[in-house]
Amino acid sequence: MNPALFLSALRRGSRSLLACVLVLLASAALRAQTKDSCLDCHQYLPEPMGVSAETFSQDIHAQKGLTCAACHGGDPNSDDPEKAMSRAAKWKGKIERRQIPELCGSCHSDAAFMKSYNPTLRVDQLQQYKTSVHGKQWAAGDDKVAVCTDCHGVHNLRSPSDSRSSVYPTNIAGTCARCHADAAHMKSYGIPTDQFASYQKSVHYEAMAEGGDLSAPTCSTCHGNHGAAPPGVESVVSVCSTCHVFQAELFEKSPHEAAFAQAGFPGCVTCHSNHEIRHPTDAMIGVGPRTVCVQCHAEGDAGYAAAAGMKARLVELGSELDKSNAILATAEQAGMEVGEAKLEAGKAHDALVKARVTIHAFDMAKLDEDVAPGLKLAKKTYEAGEAALHERTVRRQGLAAALVAIVVVLIGLKLYIGAIERESE
Amino acid sequence: MSLLAALKRWLDERFGWEELTAPLRKKMVPSHRYSYWYFLGGMTLFLFLVQIVTGALLLLYYRPGANEAFESVQFIMTQVHFGWLVRSIHSWSANLLIFMAFAHLFSVLFLRSYRKPRELTWLSGMVLLALMLGFGFTGYLLPWNMLAYFATKVGTAIPGQLPLIGTPTLLFLRGGEEVTGATLNRMFGLHVAILPAIATMLLLLHLALIQWFGMSVPPRIEKEWRQAPASRREMRFFPNFLLRELMAWFVALGALGALAALFPWELGVKADPFASAPAGIKPEWYFLFMFQTLRMIPAKVLGIEGELLGILGFGVLGAAAFLVPFLDRKKPIDTSRWITWAAVLVLVYMVAMTIYGFIAK
């Protein structure tokens, strides 16, 4: 072998060897850094001391590289339990319930620290918690109220965007219900425990649980999460209006706004309830026994007459629309082209939907601004349906006439063929 | 002298009308127990003529383009006098035409009318059938509704599976990678200009060949006639056969009118390329047996793409059908049993797969 080539190969080889050694050293150092000797023992211990490696690996903190020591202190690099759990290693042991909010807040309220993990994460949770009913009770010495771990869990705490998290939108109500639906737990507070059962009957729950709409309201949407508190009478409209903007705007300009305030009625909740907000229907309005209007209005007052009038207008538009849809469906089944009329009927339906929103103005003239054009459209589309069915009849009559003419021609041809064939024979 | 006789004389003096129409008067049609099958070709011709007339009328109002096509058909159906009738007859007639063309093909096959000297008549007929299917495929997209849009998407994707020529074919059919307004425009161009031009020329050739060779007599009848020459029966084409054909055309016209009036061809909902495909999307019934077969073939067969194998299989079957006059080597008077059995097998397969395609989800 050429000595120069040999030396060159040796140099290349020694450089590669050095690179390998460096990689091995670096990985050993990294391993030493993320070592968590706590789990070596605690994964074999029974509850409540035991935490399996698999459980902890699901925890968002573990996934971000934090170890048990981040909360419990101690030295996770030491395999000697005496050293790992020594006061010298700042080992805290079991975290007392009283210490939990402040311990979590020690990181989660530190904007600079949190930025290194998630720059978009809020850092006011502890501050908000202190304003919540939970936080205030806690400050007053009540250990039963919820602290961070009661809602978020511990050791397998997941990101709120993880569908397995206890604070994922579809799981929040169930998490709140763990305490709020527990009559024994809530007994000392003197508040009802039927909120979750009521919420499960609501249109909001239906949208969330059955419709899969993660933006549908759950407990924290109206009450807040870390600052959870019941909205006061005066703020109910503001809470609902975060989604139901038009209804709130109309209500604020309506005669009911001042009347409700004077009577101390909690805005929207007065008619729609709070947790058990059922799908609103036209049956709610009017002067029938099950309507909400008669809770306050009695026969002879102006509101009673207005409620009856508004109900009548909604029913009129609804029934005209039903009639129109039925005739258009019949015409369509008969093969008639009624696409344009169906489009117009869709606009009439939009007018009805808008009218149901305008109801919140409790103003007959305003309601008529939506109902009148809707009625006009519904009548027009009904006429289109009638015209289509009339056209169908005309077509069938035309067909009958044409078939008679064809049969006459066929008979004529048959006779003519017979005649010429007889003639040729 | 009647007006008709005067007109005849006028034409005769100038163009030799009597001489020109002599072959028509002399033309004879064999008369036997299978003669009714002769009407199928004439019925197909009638339906093709209906397509030309109704298609020309639709052209007065139809506007191609993704933004106008659906609305223009809707306008035809609701605003144009008798527009609904013309459009419905065009659609129903298109389907009956393809049905008649297939019936005509199988009648020719079973009666052995394709054999020497009528090979070219068979070949031109096969190309005409392919053109009719082309008319059906290109015309289906023209109303630009949801079903048509997604069926065209599926239909154009199938040849796209072919090796080498797949992608260029797909691009040619769609005018791009997706089914868009460009696809609609080229389907329109093919449907109203290119296919009619080719079909008209081939149809004239097909009719000229029929005129040249006359009607074929089935081998079984020919044998019977040879054994008993006195039993040979013939009918004058003009006017006897033609008047009977005319009766059949009137029946077809009545059927078309009844279908159009009682079951107007629906328009559906305007195509929305961003919408999800409607469930259970299927092509027109005449493509259903192929579509269902392709759906049922496993993803891989002996290491080959199942769909590709299916397409190639139908290609081979089509080529075999095209070459039937050259595959049937028997003398004209003899019958080849295997052709009959093969035709029955293919027919049963097509009918069964079409029915299965309709009921399968």
pLDDT, residue A30, reads 43
Q: In which element (H, E) is residue B37 found?
A: none
Instruction: State the nearest Cα–Cα gap between A225 and chain B, in angstroms.
Output: 38
Residue B335's pLDDT band (boundaries 50, 70, 90)? Answer: low
Q: Cβ of A191 under 8 Å from any chain B Cβ?
A: no
Rounded to whole angstroms, the Cα distance separating A365 from A282 reads 18
Q: Cβ of B272 under 8 Å from any chain A Cβ?
A: no
Is pTM beyond 0.80? Reply is no
Among candidates B84, B250, B266 on the partner chain, residue whose Cβ is nearest the Cβ of A410: B250
pLDDT, residue A1, reads 42
Residue B332 has pLDDT above 70, yes or no: no
pLDDT, residue A33, reads 47
Q: Cβ of B78 under 8 Å from any chain A Cβ?
A: yes
Burial class (CB in 10 A: 0-12, 13-18, 19+), A22: exposed
pLDDT tens sequence across B222-236 = 889 999 999 899 988
Phi, psi of B315, deg, nearest 5: -65, -45
pLDDT, residue A17, reads 52
DSSP line for A403-415: HHHHHHHHHHHHH
Chain center to CA of B96: 8
| Interchain contact, B247 vs A414, CB within 8 Å | yes
Q: Which residue has the higher pLDDT, A290 or B253?
A: B253
Q: Cβ of A121 under 8 Å from any chain B Cβ?
A: no
| DSSP annotation of A274 | S
Helix axes A245-252, A255-263, angle to 10 degrees: 80
| Interchain contact, A337 vs B267, CB within 8 Å | yes
If you average pLDDT over residues B111-125, what whole number do you get? 93
pLDDT tens sequence across B25-78 = 888 999 999 999 999 999 999 999 999 999 999 999 999 999 999 999 999 998
Phi, psi of B234, deg, nearest 5: -140, 160
Phi, psi of A44, deg, nearest 5: -100, -5
pLDDT, residue A230, reads 83
Q: What is the dihedral of CA A248, A249, A253, A255, to 10 degrees?
A: -20
- Calculate what percentage of chain B has a pLDDT beyond 70: 98
Q: Round the average pLDDT of chain B to a whole number and report it.
A: 92
Residue B321 has pLDDT above 50, yes or no: yes
pLDDT, residue A24, reads 47
Question: For every one of its 425 residues, what pLDDT tens digit does chain A have, with 9 covering 90 and above?
Answer: 444 545 455 455 555 555 544 444 444 444 444 577 888 888 888 887 888 888 898 899 999 989 899 999 998 888 888 888 888 888 888 889 999 999 999 999 999 999 999 888 899 999 999 999 999 999 999 999 999 999 999 998 999 999 999 999 999 999 999 999 999 999 999 899 999 999 999 999 999 988 999 999 999 999 989 988 887 767 777 889 889 999 999 999 999 999 988 888 888 989 998 899 998 989 999 998 889 999 899 998 899 999 999 999 999 999 999 999 999 999 999 889 899 999 999 999 999 999 999 999 999 999 999 999 999 999 999 999 999 999 999 999 999 999 999 999 999 999 999 999 898 77
| Interchain contact, B266 vs A337, CB within 8 Å | yes
pLDDT tens sequence across B154-170 = 999 988 888 889 999 99
Chain center to CA of A378: 34
| Interchain contact, B262 vs A399, CB within 8 Å | yes
pLDDT, residue A12, reads 56
Q: What is the dihedral of CA A416, A417, A418, A419, to 10 degrees?
A: 50
pLDDT tens sequence across B79-115 = 999 999 999 999 999 999 999 999 999 999 999 899 8
Evaluate whether B357 touches B288 at the Cβ level (below 8 Å). Answer: yes
Among candidates B240, B251, B262 on the partner chain, residue whose Cβ is nearest the Cβ of A417: B240
| Interchain contact, A417 vs B244, CB within 8 Å | yes
Rounded to whole angstroms, the Cα distance separating A55 from A110 reads 27
Residues of A in contact with B262 (CB under 8 A): 335, 396, 399
| Interchain contact, A335 vs B247, CB within 8 Å | no
Interface ipTM: 0.85
In sequence order, the β-bridge partners of residue B30 are: B234
Instruction: State the nearest Cα–Cα gap between A33 and chain B, in angstroms.
Output: 51
pLDDT, residue B304, reads 85
The answer for A 380-399 residues in CB contact with B (under 8 A) is 395-396, 398-399
pLDDT, residue B70, reads 96
Peptide bond into A192 cis (omega under 30): no
Structure tokens at B210: 């029929």
